């Protein structure tokens, strides 16, 4: 099925900042009726699909960036100070808020992040970039456009939260498949417990896994769920009448260490699914940098199979790694997200950068956001920054 595009009308009217999100970074989505595609946010986990016949107004084509922009902003950055220097003595955050915030394609958007987080993140991200992933001025602006849209430019880790509606309360929202109703809810939401692409292991399989039970078998509810044969834990409808949904470890215990909850979205480009966390395990196991926290996890995980680490690791482990002040894993998660398609390698040729193929802003946005309209929006917003410079 071809994806539909979300209308820019929401952003133009300044409504996007008031529409509750369906994939959360800084606050819970509460299982809203609107999908990310309908609100202008990214569908990082790719769990939303429009119901057949759904019609959504297409995003207007973004204007091209000025002639010469691709080459002009192909300079490789050496760190946060270089990135800031592009915007004069004010620096990026102040320049953005004074110059383009709440205008044009940036209607309803401004940066609330701190200079300390900006410096820490971009110094680390630039330093850890390989030869093929060097941070150019254009790549910096594109990523900051995404981060500003999703988390207000706050360069700290965010974990995907969960809902509190009557039908899908708390963690059941992550577990459940939620169908469109054809009236208010026009998109189907897939389950994190059982997905067609088999990117997570279902809770029912883990409750019968020796490695999992050895690691987590002393947690609350283990006596009820270890070796369970109840097929509900292999499905897409959380047994909320029988088990807690509040997400508190003391109540939900072993349930929270299964994939549907543990591998929910984290970070600036929400890393979701066991299959993606596995790449971060390999990064930690091979880490040679100076981040003391990551090195301590390297010692713990050395020599283990990455899938075994995924099974035995805890929510607390991943919250700690993503929240590390050194920001090594926070940055690596972004590189992992781009590995399969290299969407972050933006062209230094205007015709390619302004196009829709490899090396274009539209492709980068589409790859991050999960739908075509996000690509047009990213191009428009980066263009507004470039034109203001």
| CA pair distance 67, 115, nearest whole angstrom | 31
Supply 318's token pair.
């991943």
DSSP state of 61: P
Query: What is residue 256's predicted lDDT score, i.e. its pLDDT?
Result: 98
Query: What is residue 222's predicted lDDT score, i.e. its pLDDT?
Result: 98
To the nearest 10°, report the CA torsion of 278, 284, 287, 293: 160
Strand partners of residue 187 = 50
Say if residues 67 and 344 touch (Cβ distance below 8 Å).
no
Query: What is residue 37's predicted lDDT score, i.e. its pLDDT?
Result: 78
Query: What is residue 10's predicted lDDT score, i.e. its pLDDT?
Result: 34
Query: What is residue 49's predicted lDDT score, i.e. its pLDDT?
Result: 85
Query: What is residue 166's predicted lDDT score, i.e. its pLDDT?
Result: 77
Reduced to 3 states (helix: H, G, I; strand: E, B; else coil), residue 234 is helix
| CA pair distance 98, 102, nearest whole angstrom | 10
- Beta strands of the chain (E only): which ranges? 48-50, 187-189
Q: pTM of the full predicted structure?
A: 0.89
Q: Hey, how many other C-beta atoms are within 10 angstroms of the C-beta on 244?
A: 18
Query: What is residue 372's predicted lDDT score, i.e. its pLDDT?
Result: 86
Query: What is residue 164's predicted lDDT score, i.e. its pLDDT?
Result: 64
Query: What is residue 237's predicted lDDT score, i.e. its pLDDT?
Result: 97
Query: What is residue 329's predicted lDDT score, i.e. its pLDDT?
Result: 98
Parts of the chain with a pLDDT under 50: 1-31
Query: What is residue 217's predicted lDDT score, i.e. its pLDDT?
Result: 98
Query: What is residue 33's predicted lDDT score, i.e. its pLDDT?
Result: 57
């Amino acid at each position: 099925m071809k994806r539909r595009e979300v209308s820019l009308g929401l952003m133009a009217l300044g409504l996007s900042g008031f529409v509750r999100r369906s994939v959360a970074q800084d606050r819970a989505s509460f299982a809203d009726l609107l999908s990310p595609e309908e609100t202008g946010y990214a569908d990082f986990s790719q769990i939303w699909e429009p119901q057949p016949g759904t019609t959504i107004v297409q995003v207007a084509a973004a204007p091209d960036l000025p002639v010469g922009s691709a080459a002009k902003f192909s300079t490789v950055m050496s760190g946060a100070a270089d990135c800031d220097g592009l915007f004069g003595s004010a620096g990026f955050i102040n320049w953005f808020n004074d110059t383009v915030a709440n205008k044009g394609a940036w209607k309803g958007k401004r940066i609330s992040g701190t200079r300390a987080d900006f410096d820490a993140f971009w110094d680390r991200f630039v330093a850890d970039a390989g030869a093929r992933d060097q941070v150019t001025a254009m790549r910096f602006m594109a990523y900051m456009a995404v981060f500003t849209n999703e988390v207000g430019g706050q360069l700290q880790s965010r974990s995907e939260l969960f809902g509190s509606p009557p039908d899908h309360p708390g963690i059941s929202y992550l577990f459940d498949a939620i169908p469109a109703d054809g009236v208010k809810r026009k998109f189907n939401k897939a389950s994190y417990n059982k997905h067609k692409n088999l990117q997570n292991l279902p809770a029912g399989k883990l409750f019968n896994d020796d490695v999992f039970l050895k690691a987590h078998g002393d947690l609350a509810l283990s006596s009820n769920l270890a070796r369970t044969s109840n097929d509900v834990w292999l499905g897409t409808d959380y047994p909320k009448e029988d088990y807690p949904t509040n997400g508190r470890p003391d109540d939900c215990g072993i349930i929270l260490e299964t994939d549907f909850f543990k591998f929910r979205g984290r970070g600036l480009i929400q890393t979701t699914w066991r299959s993606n966390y596995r790449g971060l395990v390999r990064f930690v196991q091979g880490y040679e940098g100076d981040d003391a926290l990551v090195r301590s996890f390297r010692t713990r995980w050395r020599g283990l199979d990455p899938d075994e680490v995924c099974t035995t690791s805890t929510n607390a482990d991943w919250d700690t790694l993503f929240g590390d002040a050194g920001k090594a894993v926070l940055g690596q998660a972004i590189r992992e997200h781009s590995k399969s398609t290299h969407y972050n390698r933006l062209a230094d040729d205007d015709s390619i950068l302004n196009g829709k193929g490899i090396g274009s802003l539209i492709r980068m946005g589409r790859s991050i956001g999960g739908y075509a309209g996000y690509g047009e929006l990213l191009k428009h917003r980066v263009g507004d920054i470039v034109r203001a410079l």
